[in-house]
Amino acid sequence: MRWKEPTLLLLVSPDSVAEALDCAKAAEHLDIVDVKKPDEGSLGANYPWVIREIRDSVPADKPVSATVGDVPYKPGTVAQAALGAAVSGATYIKVGLYGCTTPDQAVEVMRGVVRAVKDYRPDAFVVASGYADAHRIGCVNPLALPDIARRSGSDAAMLDTAVKDGTRLFDHVPPDVCGEFVRLAHEAGLLAALAGSVTVGDLGALTRIGTDIVGVRGAVCEGGDRNTGSIQPHLVAAFRAEMDRHARDHAAAAVAAAS
C-alpha cells in the first residue's frame, strides 16, 4: 500500500480485550485498532494471545495493528517478534526504533521486519516508527524516518513520543517540522502517521499538514490518562466528530482559495 491522496484515519490503541470490546462498540468511528501494552513503553508489545483475541473481538473489516515494542538494535530478534505479531492476526506491524542510533541501523532492522512479515503475508502493512523526543533517548532523528521507511521497503513512517511525562508531539516537533515529516513521507510514496499525547486541540494542525493516520489513546480514555484510564466509546465518537469537522473545514477552505 502506498500513499496516493490525502486522507485521515483514526488509530485507537486498546491494551486489553475488554478495551477492544469498547473499541468494537465505537467501530464506526475508528479505522484501525492498535494493540499495545502501555506499561512496557510508548510502543510496548502485548502478548500474542491478546493480539489474537482482539482480532477476534473487533469487526472483521477493521484492520488490527500491533506494536512490536520499543526495540533494541537486534535485527534478528525484532524480525522474529514482527512475524509473531503477523501470525497472531495483526495486518499492521509497528516497530519502535528505540535502540537504533543511526539510519543504517534502523534500515537494517526494518528490512528484516519487512522480509519476515511480507514473506508470511504479502499484504501486511509495515510501519517504521520513530520518536519526536529522539534527542532525549539518543535514537535516530525524526526527519530521518521517511527515508528509513523508504529504503527498507516499509509502507509508512510514524512519529510518537518515547517518554510519557506529559509532554506532547508538538512540544518536541512543532507543526511546521511535522509538516516536513509528512511531506518527506509522501514524496517517498509512504503514509505518514503521527501520535504522541495528541489531543482534540491538535487536529487542526494535523489536518492542515496532511497527516494520514492519527494515533490516540489518552485522548479517548477516561480522565485523559493512557495508563489508568480506559477507552470510552463516547470519547472515540467525539474525537472522530472533531476530526471530520476539521476535514470539512480544510476542504472548504481549499475550495474557497481555489475559486
| Whole-Å CA distances, 171 to 57, 64, 93, 174, 189 | 35, 29, 26, 6, 27
State the catalytic residue, choosing from 4, 62, 74, 94. 94
Name every residue whose Cβ is closer than 8 Å to that of residue 259 and which is 6 or more positions away in sequence.
none
Active-site residue identified among 25, 36, 118, 164: 36
In this structure, what C-alpha cell is assigned to residue 71?
526495540
In eight-state DSSP terms, residue 98 is T
The CB-side HSE value for 94 (13 A sphere, CA atoms) comes to 35
Residue 53, SS3? helix
Residue 4 annotated among the catalytic residues of the structure: no
Locate 29 and state its grid cell.
468511528
**Torsions phi, psi of 93, nearest 5?**
-115, 120
Kindly report the length of the chain: 259
- Per-residue b/e over 88-103, b at no fewer than 16 CB within 10 Å? bbbbbbbbbbbbbeeb
Instruction: Mark whether 37 is an active-site residue.
Output: no
Extract the C-alpha cell encoding 180.
516536513
- What phi and psi, each to the nearest 5 degrees, are found at residue 76? -65, -45
Among 244, 253, 250, 157, residue whose Cα is nearest residue 200: 244
Classified as helix, coil or strand, 35 is strand
Query: Could you give the residue numbers annotated as active site?
Result: 36, 94
